[in-house]
Amino acid sequence: MKIALLLLWVVVVTALLLPLLRRALAPPPRRPAALRDELVKDPVCQTYVVRSRAVRALARGEPVYFCSDDCARRYAAQLGG
């Protein structure tokens, strides 16, 4: 009976400590900021925008990034003539 209790205690402690141990032994790899959030230039108003927040549109098969829907529309109008 005592051994069963001891085993249970070991299991509980291990379950509690394992996530902490794992975190301590293998920290998550930190990617450079450039890879996560690149700055892209809005071709209409020449503003730099963070890519993840930019408005994306395709122009001649290439992705183009804008600061707003308004700029994307203006760009499309320019392309149309």
- List of residues contacting Zn ion (CB under 5 A): 42, 44-45, 67, 71
The tokens for 55 are 């408005």
Q: Cβ 71 to Zn ion, closest distance in Å?
A: 3
Q: Please tell me whether residue 72 adopts helix, strand or coil conformation.
A: helix
Nearer to Zn ion, 64 or 67 (CB): 67
Nearer to Zn ion, 37 or 69 (CB): 69
Q: Cβ 67 to Zn ion, closest distance in Å?
A: 3
